[in-house]
């Protein structure tokens, strides 16, 4: 009889403990519900422009949420309730409220991450519960994703590119919990990884995930090409450019990457016709003419041709007369030819007076041709010291000493 009585006492004691543990979870739910009531009232007051009353309501909500956090933390750590999906459901709700309102963020600065992890726990512990409560979980996950989007935008504006990238990656991961793929979030993450964070390996991983998701966008191939190119994986760079061009033949971003890739590999002869086609198609864009001019004016290129270079530089200037680059490039082309002739003259024996004078006279012709282009470039960008020095050197060579003195 005593043994039976003792057993009943122990069972009653254990039941009381279990009830106490469940009570913490119930308390968390009720405190959170109370907090939401205060939040709703605060929003009504804000609509009525009654800021003081709204603030008081949010202060009350903060008190309730602090109590809710304490209760749900206890339930999440207790052996009896920590493996129950309902515990993590309430945990996710409480921590989401803390994260969602700036007034509550100091309760726990990692609340958004904890809320997301809680909803992950639900799926891991009890898929039947997850399915039964899908709509509420879906709404919270959707809101968490929006928060990560916002955090990513703020981090980007503040120059914290790695954090911005990670926020967009987390936004993708959060939607995956409810069986959805936010590929736009991943695409933004890849863009930041390449052009801002310089995390090229991460960018490749992200883009490979997009391909695995069968997300078709020319940007995926563009980013894969750029990232591999930055890592000097040139075969991979060309592979993704060619795959992208095959799927999106009219995409100009991919065409531009193809141009950049072949120029990087010094294979301009293979791409020059395509650049000319782009120049003709985009006759209001001086960039393509400038690129062609640069190719033809490169003395190390098999396509080196001064006359052809001038044709395209003149086209670039006609399209955009305020772009200093074409003027600088033409000026530099003539200055280089002049410098080569002057060097050749200086290498002559001292008794070769006629040959020396002929080379210097020829060099002067190129300096005179360079002068109006360099002057125009200096007019457009007077703060550029390199252009200023080049112009001063020309004035000295052409014995225009008054003008040279003005640039000292």
CB 68 within 8 A of CB 31: yes
Predicted TM-score of the model (pTM): 0.76
- Which are the contacts of 381, defined by CB distance < 8 A and separation ≥ 6? 324, 387
Distance of alpha carbon 358 from its chain centroid, rounded?
Answer: 56
How many residues are recorded in the chain? 408
Cα distance between residue 307 and residue 314, in whole Å: 11
Q: Which residues contact 150 (CB under 8 A, 6 or more apart)?
A: none
pLDDT in tens, the chain (408 residues): 444 444 444 444 444 444 555 788 999 999 999 999 999 999 999 999 999 999 999 999 999 999 999 999 999 999 889 999 999 999 999 999 999 999 999 999 999 999 999 999 999 999 999 999 999 999 999 999 999 999 999 999 999 999 999 999 999 999 999 999 999 999 999 999 999 999 999 999 999 999 999 999 999 999 999 999 999 999 999 999 999 999 999 898 998 899 889 888 989 999 999 999 999 998 888 999 999 999 999 888 899 998 999 999 999 999 999 989 999 999 999 999 999 999 999 999 988 889 999 999 999 999 999 999 999 999 999 999 999 999 999 999 999 999 989 988
Distance of CA 350 to the CA centre of its chain: 61
Domain boundaries, the chain: 26-132
Handedness of CA 202, 211, 188, 120 (dihedral sign): negative
Tokens of 238: 């060309």
Give residue 381's region: left, alpha or beta (phi > 0; psi -120 to 50).
beta
275 CB-contact burial (10 Å; exposed 0-12 / middle 13-18 / buried 19+):
buried
Angstrom distance (rounded) from CA 214 to CA 208: 10
Instruction: Please report where in the chains the tokens 């293979």 appear, as a residue.
Output: 270
- CA 223 – CA 13 distance, rounded (Å): 63
């Amino acid at each position: 009889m005593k043994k039976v009585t003792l057993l009943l006492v122990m069972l009653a004691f254990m039941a009381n403990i279990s009830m106490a543990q469940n009570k913490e979870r119930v308390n968390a739910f009720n405190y959170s519900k109370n907090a939401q009531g205060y939040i709703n009232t605060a929003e009504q007051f804000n609509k009525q422009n009654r800021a003081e009353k709204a603030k008081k309501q949010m202060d009350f909500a903060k008190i309730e949420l602090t109590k809710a956090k304490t209760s749900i933390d206890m339930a999440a750590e207790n052996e009896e309730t920590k493996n129950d999906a309902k515990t993590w459901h309430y945990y996710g709700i409480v921590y989401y409220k803390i994260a969602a309102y700036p007034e509550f963020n100091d309760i726990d600065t990692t609340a958004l991450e904890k809320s997301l992890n809680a909803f992950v726990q639900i799926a891991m512990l009890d898929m039947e519960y997850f399915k039964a409560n899908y709509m509420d979980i879906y709404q919270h996950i959707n809101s968490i994703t929006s928060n990560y989007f916002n955090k990513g935008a703020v981090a980007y504006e503040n120059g914290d590119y790695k954090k911005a990238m990670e926020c967009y990656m987390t936004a993708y991961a959060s939607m995956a919990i409810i069986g959805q793929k936010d590929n736009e979030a991943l695409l933004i993450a890849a863009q930041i990884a390449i052009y801002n964070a310089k995390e090229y390996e991460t960018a490749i991983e992200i883009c490979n995930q997009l391909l695995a998701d069968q997300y078709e966008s020319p940007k995926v191939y563009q980013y894969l090409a750029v990232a591999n190119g930055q890592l000097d994986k040139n075969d991979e760079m060309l592979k993704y450019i060619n795959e992208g061009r095959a799927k999106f033949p009219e995409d100009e971003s991919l065409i531009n990457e193809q141009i950049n890739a072949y120029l990087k590999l010094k294979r301009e002869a293979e791409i020059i016709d395509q650049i000319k086609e782009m120049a003709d198609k985009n006759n209001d864009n001086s960039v393509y003419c400038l690129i062609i001019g640069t190719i033809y004016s490169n003395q190390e290129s098999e396509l080196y041709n001064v006359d052809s270079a001038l044709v395209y530089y003149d086209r670039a200037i006609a399209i955009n007369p305020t772009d200093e680059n074409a003027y600088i490039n033409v000026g530099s082309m003539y200055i280089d030819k002049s410098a080569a002739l002057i060097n050749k003259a200086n290498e002559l024996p001292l008794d070769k007076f006629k040959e020396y004078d002929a080379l210097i006279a020829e060099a002067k012709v190129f300096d005179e041709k360079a002068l109006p282009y360099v002057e125009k470039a200096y007019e457009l960008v007077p703060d550029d010291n390199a252009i200023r020095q080049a112009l001063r050197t020309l004035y000295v060579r052409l014995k225009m000493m008054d003008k040279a003195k003005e640039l000292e």
